[in-house]
Structure 1
């Protein structure tokens, strides 16, 4: 049974939902909106139709009814991006990761198929690329993360050609397995950039799958598998990093920490890395020949967020309270997922729990209820694929670095059962549970299983 956020589902007007005190609170807001030439106004506007945005919009639109919730996103398709590791490894078809956006927008929500160019929290509106202005009483920012391909010189020009690929692109991910099968030996390079990224475990996963493919194809003895990362660890959570360290040693994968990919010279198949372990004041550039290269592009907050008053001045992501997911300055703004400055893993699994907390707090506001706000514990999960039938199920709090494992076993052990669940079962939960607003993470299951867990 999927855990849910308890909400009232009967049709209720906006006037009935707000308490008298809430009405007074919004009197000034309405006046400001009127002065801003709002083209259309909603009770709740959700920016972004990724997993976080759709989860919130699905639940809240059922509560408020038609014409009260808008979802703003220009994309024609929605992608289940965690599946792209399997697509790149030749274990899933790309079509399994893609659905038309129109089929996923909640029936009672309005889909505004456009991009946001400005966030104006002082006057409670957003500006679209077509010049229209959309007003709101509450704003939920779930706009994901911006992929900056041009931050690595030569990457855009090389991508998808002659052995250069990335599982972070819907186009090039479809080339990854082809290039791995065409690989006949030499250097297979894998990179991790100098920036936050979505799914931090993904660069490691494809390195393990590639090494396995080379073994199965009988060319492992001719292949150098090299993982160059800007990070100083193979994985940021030490509880699971020790397992990956053992596996890369067993499988003869070379790990070079503090190596940042800065240039691809596709004309002569060379990749240039900056060694951040060089002595202070010195710059050391190291050039590798490559026969296969999986590049992970640097990533950053979307420009319209970074340039807005909602941004954390240091990181540029939406500045929210890490427990309540409410903005630290604007009480009627919430954010979740990759575009927020929550100090935890930017993963779909994290969004499941974030969405439950956010919806509890937002709905209490909508109904004019005073509650002890729900709090997010930093939960994130990264199913660490280390082979086609091998997986280490990492579940942890990004706030503490300590495990938050669901099942009553040591999840650091490589498991074929968990590999099957991640590849065949979790996608269904994503499509049918998370996006519809019904799945808000494994917290309740963890509580049940905790009675059977022995200390590790």
Structure 2
């Protein structure tokens, strides 16, 4: 059986939900959102939760509760698209037809890009609120840091989901350690792929002040290549090794869901992002 939509939106995050509401207000026909997540998280609060300044449960809703009136929710993930036939297939085998397709499924962790990271997450030695299901683990990781510990955090390289916002959790944690009186005895390291902290002229001076205030050692122009939770070591692509690490606030490299590349809709980048005209956001072929 094939369901038919005028507009099918793949992804029920803030982008997909907001767009669906706008389309319904403009009466753009039958609109569907395909997303298998049962819980909607307000992602801007994730780093505040990890930094101990928010209860993430307050910013979570059942997915059904945030789907706009008049928009149909398909509670399943899209796993294949046929752009020529204008159909999508979900994990349960449902075929969905569409006149127009909007891709905003978000980015997914590319665990294989950093050796040992998935195992480090499972061991509780590494975590990041940018992997939403690990937000509680990230909060626990930062809150148990003690005097004498070494902490490593990273700014993920692009593409990323607001990668620079990891600094929120790091700065909030530093402020907490300062209040506890242990900050001078915590060795904090920040790994960033940029020449400066974020390479943003409007904000880097303020970030540099915060980094100096908290005594954070910055590893510029570097990325995390591998981690070893048993050896308590973080390895950078520069060859540098940060040893005796008590807590690794490491955000994984991310990529687009694989169905985008499999459908021939991706650009030439390694992350498999959907190709788009930068002026119109339309796919250059379809």
Q: Aligned partners of 2:122 and 2:167: how far apart in 1?
A: 20
Partner deviation per Cα, 1:248-277 (whole Å, 9 max, x = no partner): 1233211101222222221232222221xx
Q: Aligned partners of 2:151 and 2:269: how far apart in 1?
A: 35
Cα displacement (A) at 1:174 = 1.0
Mapping 1:16-31, distance limit 5 Å: none
Is 1:272 aligned with 2:235? yes
Q: 1:76 aligns with which of 21, 38, 41?
A: 38
Q: Aligned partners of 1:97 and 1:163: how far apart in 2?
A: 26
Partner deviation per Cα, 1:290-310 (whole Å, 9 max, x = no partner): 112101100112111122222
| Higher Cα radius of gyration | 1
Report the TM-score, using the length of structure 2 for normalisation.
0.91
Partner deviation per Cα, 1:123-166 (whole Å, 9 max, x = no partner): 21112222232111111111111222343222222216454221
The change in CA–CA distance for 1:286 and 1:311 in structure 2 (over 3 A counts) is same
Is 1:300 aligned with 2:255? yes
The change in CA–CA distance for 1:177 and 1:221 in structure 2 (over 3 A counts) is same
Q: Aligned partners of 2:243 and 2:221: how far apart in 1?
A: 15
Cα displacement (A) at 1:285 = 4.3
Q: 2:18 aligns with which of 55, 77, 80?
A: 55
The change in CA–CA distance for 1:65 and 1:221 in structure 2 (over 3 A counts) is closer
Q: Name 1:196's counterpart in structure 2.
A: 159
SS of aligned partner of 1:179: helix
| Unpaired runs of at least 5, structure 1 | 1-37, 276-283, 331-456
Equivalent pair of 2:4/2:98 in contact (CA under 8 Å): yes
CA RMSD of aligned residues (A): 2.0
Q: Name 1:327's counterpart in structure 2.
A: 283
Q: Name 2:212's counterpart in structure 1.
A: 249
Q: Aligned partners of 1:177 and 1:318: how far apart in 2?
A: 33
Partner deviation per Cα, 1:185-223 (whole Å, 9 max, x = no partner): 221111133441101222222221122111111111211
Q: Name 1:209's counterpart in structure 2.
A: 172
Is 1:103 aligned with 2:85? no
| Unpaired runs of at least 5, structure 2 | none
Q: Name 2:27's counterpart in structure 1.
A: 64
- The aligned length equals 284
SS of aligned partner of 1:107: coil
Report the TM-score, using the length of structure 1 for normalisation.
0.59
The change in CA–CA distance for 1:130 and 1:162 in structure 2 (over 3 A counts) is closer
Equivalent pair of 1:65/1:108 in contact (CA under 8 Å): no
Is 1:137 aligned with 2:99? yes
SS of aligned partner of 2:24: helix
Is 1:309 aligned with 2:264? yes
Q: Name 2:79's counterpart in structure 1.
A: 117
The change in CA–CA distance for 1:288 and 1:195 in structure 2 (over 3 A counts) is farther
Q: Name 1:289's counterpart in structure 2.
A: 244
Mapping 1:10-21, distance limit 5 Å: none
